[in-house]
Amino acid sequence: MLKWIRATKFRELFNVSVSDFTQLRTKGIWIEDREYRKAADGNFWVSLTYLNKCTEHTIQGLEEDMLQWVKLKKYYELSGDTANAFNHKKSRGIWKEGCEFRKAADGVIWINLKEVNNFAAKSVYKHR
């Protein structure tokens, strides 16, 4: 199961404005590392695990028995991540081939959801 999604996807799915999302974070309604976190790539990620426990919302396509590997296009759809973000993580070595992603013999890129969840859960943003 995908446990973390980009904040942009969360806002789209739950119809939450940027200012409302900012208030959740800055007013202490949400706690960093529980409901959300800022990853090394600079993006905010929202915990679906926590949201599923605290709301009656379910998100179609994010079932528990989901495959560990999904095609890149499906990953974009599920997570809200973008091609630019993926290419940045890949080119900077933030995501490693064979770990978070792999290119199959037919040229298709597959994303390892388990490792992406680990990245989002453990990644810490460092101010530059």
23-44: per-residue pLDDT in tens?
888 888 888 888 888 888 788 9
Q: Report DSSP letters for 56-69, one per residue.
A: S---TT--TT--SE
Q: Which of 15-19, 97-101, 123-127 has the lowest mean pLDDT?
A: 123-127
Query: Mean pLDDT across the stretch 54-58?
Result: 54
Range(s) of the domain holding residue 21: 4-122
Residue 114 lies in a domain: yes
Q: Tokens representing 54? A: 């605290």
In a domain, residue 98? The reply is: yes
Torsion of CA 88, 94, 98, 104, to 10 degrees: 0
Residue 16 inside a domain? The answer is yes
Q: How many helices (H) and strands (E) does the chain have?
A: 6, 6
Rounded mean pLDDT of 66-72?
78
Is the entire prediction scored with pTM above 0.85? no
How many angstroms separate the CA atoms of 82 and 46, rounded? 16
The structural domain count of the chain equals 1
Residue 70 lies in a domain: yes
